[in-house]
Chain A
Amino acid sequence: MNQAEKETYLREYSILKNEGKPFFPYAVAKDSIMAAIVIFVIMFLSLMFGAELGPKADPTTTTYVPRPDWYFFFLFEVLRVMKNVPVFTPMATIGVPTICMILLFLLPFYDRSPERRIERRPVALSAAIFTIAAMAYLTYSGANTGSPNSVDMKPPANLTAAQKQTFTAGALVVGQSGCLACHVIGSNGNNGPGPPLTKIGSKLPPAAIASTLVNPTAPMPSFKSLAQQTPQKFQNLVGFLSLLQ
């Protein structure tokens, strides 16, 4: 807006304001009705859905699925998708949300036209529709990502029968142990904080995989007790991971 446009706006606005009604009691009355609706809805939700507590937090369990509150689903989904592009990982996880935030902050500075009617602001209208659609889609797909407690993968066709058996058995252990809470394997699991395991078998030999499982870097829990108590399961776990090529 240039100086003339600014002055026109201020002049027209002061006329409209003078033709208006006093804030108290007219606007206050509407606001109070709205406030009553808000408190009613909050109480209703509380009575209907309560506030259940889950089991107590246990840093040593590994079977737990991290789930944020629904209004962060879109963010988790962005991160999940972005992490599959390894080159951009550090940039994308924080970079994309940061850029969106900055764009939001600076909106009044790059949208400088004096036009205020939405039907005459095609760019703003399309941006709004696109943003709402994207947020709705991301929230929806974030809410529906497969249960991180099971690995949904077929053994590759080139394996021997015994390898296939190890693969299926190990995939089950991975699901039960909650690895997918922090790692992605193919299209399963959350990407982060741990590295993706989709091709871990081609990066680490089985012995290195086994020793990482027993002596991991924090915050990953150790699977030492699994190795001692049920060595067969542990073998299957290592076997499955080394078959991920």
Chain B
Amino acid sequence: MPRLPAPPLPKVLQPKPPRPGDEENGNVLSPVEAGITVVDWLDERTSLSPGLRWLLWRKVPRGINWAYTLGSATLFAFLSQAVTGVFLAMYYRPDPAGGAYESMRYINDDVFLGKFVHGMHKWGASVMVILIFLHMGRVFLYGAYKYPRELTWIIGVTLLILTLMMGFTGYLLPFDQKAYWASVVGVNINSGGPFIGPFLSDFLRAGPEFGATTLSRFYAIHMLLIPGAIIALIGLHLYLVTKLGITAPPWIKVDNGSEPDLVQRTEA
């Protein structure tokens, strides 16, 4: 029977070896075996398992603590935004003339759990912003942006800007007074920028004035353009994190006893 490589589980979690007298399976394929067969079939065609092993069974240095979960917490908040966003998009109509506001009303008042999902999307945005700043703070305090992780940092800053842009473009969509006027002012501030400022504002507004197509443009940017870019960049960010390894906390020092050259260095 094909076997997956055994994960380095702690003792308690390791499967116990079969004892004599346990019931035999006979010829029936147990669910585990069936699963393994399917995975094996996929692996024969895709060779995915070395990649997964590389991703999951790499080592993380000793001493890492809870502050290191902030990056994946940000990722999780983003996933939550993606899922709740898809549900909102099923009911939302980006039509300023008579649709956008009404469809948000409908979500809030009539759709089953609509207000709850809308609220999760709204507050999830704040949670993601807080987490991304905390993650950046951890990286800064631990000096984790230094050699060889400079590029990880740069991609991270881009992710920060894109996340804030999600907040900005999403704010208009409910199309209530607050949304509308904050966006008018925001776009106008943009137009004061050097070089690309005026062009950027015209692009956002879809013309020289805040008009009918502005809303659908914000919507397209908010739910297609920026999320696409964020997903691609998170992929790169995580590739680099895996490739370079997660930093050890800066106060953890190598034992003087261990002889560097005797340690195999293939992991890095």
Q: Which residues of B contact A98 (CB under 8 A)?
A: 193-194
In the bound complex, residues from chain B placing their C-beta under 8 Å from that of A105 are 154, 157
Q: Does B265 contact A (CB under 8 A)?
A: yes
Whether B184 and A107, one on each chain, are in contact in the complex, defined by CB atoms closer than 8 angstroms, is no
CB–CB B177/A35 < 8 A: no
Q: Are B245 and A13 in contact (CB under 8 A)?
A: yes
A51 to B190, CA, bound (A): 28
User: Does B87 interact with chain A (Cβ within 8 Å)?
Assistant: no
Pick the residue among B64, B131, B180, B188 that contacts A57 (CB under 8 A).
Answer: B180
Q: Is the CB of B101 within 8 A of A57?
A: yes
Mark each residue of chain B from 70 to 82: 1 if its CB lies under 8 Å from any CB of chain A, else 0. 1011001100100
B18: Cβ under 8 A from any A Cβ: no
**Interchain Cβ contacts within 8 Å, total number:** 274
A76-114 contact mask (Cβ, 8 Å, vs B): 1 or 0: 000100000000011101110010010011011101101
Interface size class of A (residues with CB under 8 A): 35 or more
A1, A45, A69, A101: residue with the most chain B Cβ atoms closer than 10 Å:
A69
Interface membership of B235, Cβ < 8 A: no
Produce 1/0 per residue, A11-37, CB < 8 A to B. 111111111111111111011011101
Instruction: Select which of A6, A23, A39, A66 is within 8 A of B182 by beta carbon.
Output: A66
A58 CA to B176 CA, complexed, in Å: 8
CB distance from B93 to the nearest CB of A (A): 14
B140-152 interface bits toward A, Cβ cutoff 8 Å, 1 = contact, 0 = none: 1111111111100
Asked if A61 contacts B177 (CB within 8 A), the reply is: yes
> In the complex, which residues of chain A have a beta carbon less than 8 angstroms from the beta carbon of B194?
90-91, 94-95, 98
| Min CB–CB distance B52 → chain A (angstroms) | 9
Report the Cα distance A51→B92, complex, angstroms.
15
> In whole angstroms, how far apart are the Cα atoms of A98 and B248 in the complex?
32
The interface residues of chain A lying within 8 Å CB-to-CB of B41 are none
Nearest-CB distance from B80 to chain A (Å)? 6
Of B25-33, B122-130, B218-226, the segment with at least 4 beta carbons within 8 Å of chain A is: B122-130
A20 touches B59 (CB 8 A): yes
> Among A115-123, A162-170, A231-239, which stretch is in contact with chain B?
A115-123
Complex: how many Å from CA A43 to CA B121? 9
Minimal beta-carbon separation of A6 from chain B (angstroms): 6
Residues in B whose Cβ lies below 8 Å from that of A130 = none
Q: Which residues of B contact A79 (CB under 8 A)?
A: 189
CB pair B260 A124 closer than 8 Å: no
- Residues on A with C-beta less than 8 A from B62 are 16, 19-21
**Bound state CA distance, A90 and B198, in angstroms?**
12
Residues of B near A16 (CB, < 8 A) are 61-63, 248, 252, 254
The reply to whether A49 and B123 form a contact with Cβ atoms under 8 Å apart is yes
Distance of B59 from chain A, by nearest CB (Å): 4
- Asked whether, in the complex, the Cβ of A71 is within 8 Å of the Cβ of B185, the reply is no
Does B57 sit at the interface, judged by CB under 8 A? yes
The answer to whether A192 touches B147 (Cβ under 8 A) is: no
28 contacts across the A-B interface (CB closer than 8 A):
A10-B148, A13-B61, A13-B245, A13-B248, A14-B265, A20-B248, A34-B72, A38-B73, A46-B118, A49-B123, A50-B119, A53-B101, A53-B176, A54-B179, A66-B184, A66-B185, A70-B126, A79-B189, A90-B194, A95-B194, A105-B157, A107-B145, A112-B146, A115-B143, A116-B146, A118-B142, A124-B140, A192-B188
Binding site for B on A (CB under 8 A): 1, 6, 9-28, 30-31, 33-35, 37-39, 41-43, 45-47, 49-51, 53-59, 61, 64-72, 79, 89-91, 93-95, 98, 101, 104-105, 107-109, 111-112, 114-118, 121, 124, 128, 181-182, 190, 192-193, 218-219
Interface pairs A-B: 10 shortest CB-CB: A46-B119, A116-B143, A193-B188, A57-B180, A116-B250, A45-B123, A94-B193, A108-B150, A54-B176, A66-B181
